[in-house]
Amino acid sequence: MDFFFNPKSVAVIGASTKPGKIGYEIVKSLLNSEFEGNVYPVHKRGEEIAGKTSYTSISELPSDVDLAVIALPSKLIPGMIGECAKVGVKGIVIVSGGFKELNEEGAAYEKEAVESARKNGIRIIGPNCVGVFNGKSRFDTFFQPNYAMSRPKEGNISILAQSATFGLTLLEWLSEEGLGVSKFVSWGNRSDVDEVDTLDYLQKDTETKVIGIHMEGVPRAREFMSVAEKVSPKKPIVALKSGSTERGAKAAVSHTGSMAGSMEVFKGAMKQCGVVVAEDLEQMFDLTKILSLQPEIEGRRIAMVTNGAGPCVAAVDALQDTKLELARLAEDTIDELRYRLPPFCIIDNPLDITGSADAEMYELSLKELAKDENVDILMPFYVFQDGPIAATVDDMVESLKELATGEKPIVSVAAGGAFTKKQQLRFQEIGIPVIPTADRMISALARIDWYRNWMINH
């Protein structure tokens, strides 16, 4: 599998001379990236593409090729597999559609291509996909141009997606929030390489800490559960399944040819092997972000501190439907907070230091709460728009660096416009995840708490 992410050379078969065409944009993505390997466009007339010499056939290439990316009509692809085998291709990404997701004729082409690949010892990702991305080497097979879609920096999250659209959306969200990716795979029809193969590869990948998976079905359910049960104790897996309704399942068949099963059966199976199930794409993003940035959460007792009480009230309400709980602060903690904070502060949990709170008050409060043995999770809420905190936010970022690398997880809630989003990026740069609403934060933490409990009992 490593040749998909770290090839020394790649051929783009079906390369195009016309900007905007899939075969052109794949070549352009490879050439515009920091990928240091050889890129060989293969074009029927051998014309120059994006300033790069092309070849009329793969047999003309000056050296063997590790990986081929194919963007040809589906009927031509089975015959191309044998040509790839002759030059030592180990893996093929088939970007083209028109296979089993379309009709019986397409299904026959897909079956023939896979049979040829297996006969020649070649692995296939796709068809009907966007392929792969390596955050470290910057290798990508995307036909989405850089000006239209940002790529995230190197990081510790790996994203596996049956739906390329879901996967690419997650990549852009991660990029926008300054978070990084280790590996990305879009399977599409997953005619050969699937979630079982990729999970097995990622359990040995030292650059991956958290794995997010989008699926429309689980054809090899037993094999998936077996490998997931091995991976989950080492690296949390967050899964999102589409196609849970009758209409959704029908749409999944026409999308990637996937047979989507019952959501309840899916959730039950995932619970057995320690996979955290997300309710939607937004929650999948929240979960992977928190798990990526924070140390392992070892308890469920939360201490909240705020300069605006409204979101804290919503958070306390949200706790009612979870096993999470408000920490009962130790008397020593309460006494110290009363002694050191101004008299207008409400010393309780949540700890309300009011709209007058500045960086110094937050630092004092959080450090005292972090010392409390009754507290497992620190959850500060911020209204960055308030003058006292807005004027001292630079000091706050500096003061939080020590807490961000401490033993107790710290997760923040803040919502707002451009100024707030700027602070969110700064917080996440030092390792503190910021979620915009209390409901989203509590919902994500409740699922992480379930995972913690599964780990204890596993």
First to last CA, the chain: 29
- For domain 1-129, the CATH class is alpha beta
Q: For residue 261, what pLDDT band results from cuts at 50, 70 and 90?
A: low
**For 6, which DSSP code?**
S
Whether the Cβ atoms of residue 136 and residue 161 lie closer than 8 Å to each other: no
**Phi and psi at residue 346, to the nearest 5°:** -100, 105
User: Fold identical between 1-129 and 150-293?
Assistant: yes
Instruction: From the options 3.40.50.2000, 3.40.50.300, 3.20.20.10, 3.40.50.261, give the CATH code of 296-457.
Output: 3.40.50.261
At 315, give phi and psi (nearest 5°): -65, -45
Question: What's this model's pTM, rounded to 2 decimal places?
Answer: 0.92
Task: Answer yes or no: is pLDDT of 253 > 60.
Answer: no
The model's pLDDT over 79-113, given as tens digits with 9 standing for 90+, comes to: 999 999 999 999 999 999 888 888 999 899 999 99
Q: Estimate the crossing angle of helix 77-86 against helix 104-119, to 10 degrees.
A: 10
Do residues 337 and 303 make contact, with C-beta atoms less than 8 angstroms apart?
A: no
Burial class of residue 221 (count of CB atoms within 10 Å of its CB; 0-12, 13-18, 19+): middle
Pairing of strands 153-161, 180-186: parallel
Percent share of the chain, pLDDT over 90: 85
In DSSP notation, 169-193 reads: HHHHHHHHTT-EEEEEEE-TT-SSS
pLDDT single digits (tens) 342-398: 999 999 999 999 999 999 999 999 999 999 999 999 999 999 999 999 999 999 998
Helix axis angle for 195-202 and 221-231, nearest 10°, is: 20
Q: Which pLDDT belongs to residue 46?
A: 80
Distance, in Å, from the CA atom of 81 to the CA atom of 76, rounded to the nearest integer, reads 9
pLDDT of residue 76: 95
150-293 under CATH 3.40.50.261, yes or no: yes
Percent over 70 (pLDDT), the chain: 96
Q: pLDDT digits over 406-431, tens only?
A: 889 999 999 999 999 999 999 999 99
Interacting residues of 29 by C-beta distance below 8 A, sequence separation 6+: 140, 141, 142, 143, 144, 145, 146
pLDDT level of residue 40 (50, 70, 90 thresholds): very high
User: Taking the domains of the chain in order of start, what are their residue ranges?
Assistant: 1-129, 150-293, 296-457
User: What's the length of the chain?
Assistant: 458
| 243 band by pLDDT with thresholds 50, 70 and 90 | low
> Which residues, 6 or more positions from 441, have their beta carbon under 8 angstroms from its beta carbon?
286, 315, 379, 411, 413, 435
